[in-house]
C-alpha cells in the first residue's frame, strides 16, 4: 500500500515545504492522513469507493491521497481549474462516495453545497454525492483522468503496486535520497507530478518544495534556496530561461541544483544545448504516460551529449515496436509492473489499449537505435501525410524551436483538398517576430513538403496544467487567424 512508504519515514523529517516556508513533517502528514481517513470512514467511505479530491498542489491534497489509501478507497485527484461542466462529467463518471475540495476548489465547493470539515490537518469542504458503491477492481490506489480528454471522461486505474514501482524507479534514476529537495510545481493531479515527484520523494524520504502553480519567478526563487532536483516539462524550462535573461543573467548561478529532467514533450538539439549551458548540468529526458504510471524510459547522459532520445527502458520495463516500417518507425509498446489496471468501467477501451500478451499500445511512434535507446517521433494520430510523404510534427517543431525568439512550438496537420497541410504555432514574447520571418527561417532547415503552410505567432498557446500544449484545441482557438 502506498501509505506504507509514508509511514516508513521518520516522523521528524521534513516532507513538504509550502507557502511562506511552512514546513510539514512526515509525522504531520502521517497523522493528518490517519485523521482524515477516520473522518471519511464515518461518512461511509469503504474500500473500493472513490474519493474525489478537487485541488491544486497543497499539503491537504497529498494528505487526502494517503487518507483514501488507508481505507482501501481510490483517490481521484482532479485539477480545481477544470470548468464546472468538466468537473460534473468526472463526478458523474467516477460516482465518488465523497468529494473533498481543497486549495483552489472553493468555487466548486459552493456550487456543490459542500460543508466545511476540519481534521486537525487543515480544512476541507466535503460533499457526499453518491452512496457507497465499491468497485470490484482490487488493489487500485489512484484513478487519474487523462489530459485533454474530450467527450466521455476516461479514468486510468493505477494500483498500489504501480505507484510503488514508479516511485522506486524514479527515485533511483535520480539518485534521490534524504537531504534532497524536489521542486514541486508539476500538478499532482497529473501522473508526472503524482508518481515521479510525490511518490518518488516519499519513497526516498526527500523533501518537496510544493508550489500550487508554476511561475518562473517562484522557480527562480526556489533555485536560489535549496532545491536539488528539478523535474519539469520543456515549457517550464523555456519560461525560466526567458525570465532569468530578462533579469540580466545569462545562466543560472548560485544554485544547489544537481539533477534536471524534462518530460511530457520532445527535445530538440539546439534547445537542449541552450538548457544545459543555462543550468551547467546535463538535461535528462524521459518518456511515459498516465497509463504507464509515468515512467517507461529515461536518459542517463553526461553534459553535452547530443542524444535527444528518451533513453533506454527503465529497469524492469519492456519496450518494443509494433510493425516498424522501412524508416524503423513503429508504434511503441510497453509491458511491466508499471502498466495500469485498465480504464474504469470501460472494458472495450481497456481491451483496445492492453494486448493479450500484456503490452500497452501507447499510440506513440518511435524508433530504437543500436544501443537500445528509444526516440519518440510523434503520436500515431498526429502523423501528417503530405502529398504521400510522412511528416512527423516533432521534426517541424524542432526546426521552429531553433529560432532564438521562439519559446516553444506546436505543429499539427489539417485536411485540405484531398491532402494534408502542415500548420505551425509558436509562443514568443518577441512582438516583432513575424510569420514571414519564421517561414524564411524554417525554409533553410526543412525540405519543401515538411514546411508549414501557415505559422501562427502568439504570446500564449493553450496548455494543460503541466504546461503540455493542448494540440486538439489549436484549430479552434486560432480559427479566426487560420481562416
Angle of helix 234-246 relative to helix 269-279, nearest 10 degrees, comes to 50
pTM of structure? 0.84
Q: Are 366 and 329 in contact (CB under 8 A)?
A: yes
CATH of residue 394 = 3.30.300.30
| All three cell numbers of 463 | 496548455
Residue ending a domain, choose from 329, 344, 377: 377
Same domain? 351 vs 392: no
Cα(199)–Cα(212) distance, integer angstroms:
17
Q: Identify whether residues 280 and 314 lie together within a single domain.
A: yes
113/258 same-domain check: yes
Q: Which three cell numbers stand for residue 231?
A: 523535474
CATH for 232 = 3.40.50.12780
Are 474 and 461 in contact by the 8 Å Cβ rule? The answer is yes
Domain that holds residue 319: 1-377
Q: Which runs of consecutive H residues, i.e. helices, occur in 205-356?
A: 216-223, 234-246, 269-279, 347-353
Residues 419 and 335 in one domain: no
Beta carbons of 421 and 436 less than 8 angstroms apart: no
Looking at the structure, do residues 366 and 442 belong to the same domain, yes or no? Answer: no
Q: How far apart, in whole angstroms, are the C-alpha atoms of residue 373 and residue 300?
A: 11
Q: Which of 359, 377, 395 is the last residue of a domain?
A: 377
The tally of domains found in the chain comes to: 2
Instruction: Tell me: do 367 and 436 sit in the same domain.
Output: no
Phi, psi of 119 (to 5 degrees): -100, 5
Helices 59-71 and 26-42 cross at an angle (nearest 10°) of: 60
Same-domain check for residues 148 and 235: yes
Shared domain check, 414 and 368: no
Which residues have a Cβ under 8 Å from the Cβ of 281 and sit 6 or more positions away?
A: 257, 258, 259, 260, 303
What is the rounded distance in angstroms from the CA atom of residue 16 to the CA atom of residue 21?
9
Sign of the CA dihedral with 306 first, then 309, 314, and 319 last: negative
The reply to whether 366 and 419 lie within a common domain is no
Tens-digit pLDDT profile for the chain (483 aa)? 999 999 999 999 999 999 889 999 999 999 999 999 999 999 999 999 999 999 999 999 999 999 999 999 999 999 998 888 889 999 999 999 999 999 989 889 999 999 999 887 789 999 999 999 999 999 999 999 985 434 467 999 999 999 999 999 999 999 999 999 999 999 999 999 999 999 999 999 999 999 998 899 999 999 999 999 999 988 788 889 989 998 899 899 889 999 999 886 667 788 889 899 999 999 999 999 999 998 999 999 999 999 989 999 999 999 999 988 888 999 999 999 999 999 999 999 999 999 999 999 999 999 999 999 999 987 777 878 887 677 888 889 988 988 999 988 999 999 887 778 999 999 999 999 999 999 999 998 888 889 999 999 999 999 877 677 888 889 999 999 997
Shared domain for 401 and 308, answered yes or no, is no
Give the closest residue to 129 by CA, choosing from 104, 94, 153, 102: 94
Amino acid at each position: 500500500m502506498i501509505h506504507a512508504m509514508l509511514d516508513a519515514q521518520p516522523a521528524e523529517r521534513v516532507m513538504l515545504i509550502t507557502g511562506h516556508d511552512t514546513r510539514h513533517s512526515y509525522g504531520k502528514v502521517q497523522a493528518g492522513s490517519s485523521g482524515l481517513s477516520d473522518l471519511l470512514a464515518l461518512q461511509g467511505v469503504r474500500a473500493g469507493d472513490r474519493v474525489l479530491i478537487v485541488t491544486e498542489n497543497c499539503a491537504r491534497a497529498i494528505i487526502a491521497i494517503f487518507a483514501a489509501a488507508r481505507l482501501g478507497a481510490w483517490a481521484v485527484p482532479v485539477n480545481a481549474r477544470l470548468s464546472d461542466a468538466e468537473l460534473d462529467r468526472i463526478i458523474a463518471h467516477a460516482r465518488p462516495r465523497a468529494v473533498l475540495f481543497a486549495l483552489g476548489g472553493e468555487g466548486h465547493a459552493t456550487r456543490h453545497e459542500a460543508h466545511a470539515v476540519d481534521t486537525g490537518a487543515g480544512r476541507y469542504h466535503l460533499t457526499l454525492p453518491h452512496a457507497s458503491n465499491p468497485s470490484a477492481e482490487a488493489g487500485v490506489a489512484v484513478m487519474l483522468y487523462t489530459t485533454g480528454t474530450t467527450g466521455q471522461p476516461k479514468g486510468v486505474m493505477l494500483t498500489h503496486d504501480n505507484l510503488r514501482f514508479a516511485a522506486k524507479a524514479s527515485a533511483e534514476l535520480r539518485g534521490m535520497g534524504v537531504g534532497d529537495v524536489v521542486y514541486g510545481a508539476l500538478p499532482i493531479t497529473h501522473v508526472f507530478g503524482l508518481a515521479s515527484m510525490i511518490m518518488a520523494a516519499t519513497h526516498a524520504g526527500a523533501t518537496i518544495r510544493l508550489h500550487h502553480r508554476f511561475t518562473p519567478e517562484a522557480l527562480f526563487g526556489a533555485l536560489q534556496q535549496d532545491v536539488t532536483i528539478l523535474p519539469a516539462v520543456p515549457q517550464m524550462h523555456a519560461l525560466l530561461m526567458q525570465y532569468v535573461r530578462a533579469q540580466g543573467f545569462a545562466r543560472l548561478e548560485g544554485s544547489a541544483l544537481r539533477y534536471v529532467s524534462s518530460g511530457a514533450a520532445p527535445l530538440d538539439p539546439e534547445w537542449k544545448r541552450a538548457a544545459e549551458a543555462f543550468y551547467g548540468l546535463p538535461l535528462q529526458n524521459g518518456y511515459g504516460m498516465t497509463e504507464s504510471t509515468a515512467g517507461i524510459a529515461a536518459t542517463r547522459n553526461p553534459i553535452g551529449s547530443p542524444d535527444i532520445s528518451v533513453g533506454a527502458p527503465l529497469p524492469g520495463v519492456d519496450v518494443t515496436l509494433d510493425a516498424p516500417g522501412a524508416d524503423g518507425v513503429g508504434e511503441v509498446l510497453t509491458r511491466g509492473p508499471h502498466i495500469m489496471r485498465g480504464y474504469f468501467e470501460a472494458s472495450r477501451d481497456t481491451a483496445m489499449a492492453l494486448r493479450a500478451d500484456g503490452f500497452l499500445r501507447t499510440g506513440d511512434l518511435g524508433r530504437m537505435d543500436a544501443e537500445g535507446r528509444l526516440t519518440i517521433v510523434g503520436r500515431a494520430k498526429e502523423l501528417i501525410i503530405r502529398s504521400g510523404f510522412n511528416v512527423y510534427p516533432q521534426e517541424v517543431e524542432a526546426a521552429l524551436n531553433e529560432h532564438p525568439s521562439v519559446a516553444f512550438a506546436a505543429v499539427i496537420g489539417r485536411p485540405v483538398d484531398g491532402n494534408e497541410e502542415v500548420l505551425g504555432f509558436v509562443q514568443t514574447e518577441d512582438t516583432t517576430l513575424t510569420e514571414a520571418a519564421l517561414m524564411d527561417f524554417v525554409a533553410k532547415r526543412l525540405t519543401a513538403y515538411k514546411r508549414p503552410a501557415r505559422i501562427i505567432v502568439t504570446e500564449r498557446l493553450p496548455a494543460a496544467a503541466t504546461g503540455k500544449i493542448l494540440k486538439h484545441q489549436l484549430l479552434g482557438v486560432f480559427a479566426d487567424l487560420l481562416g
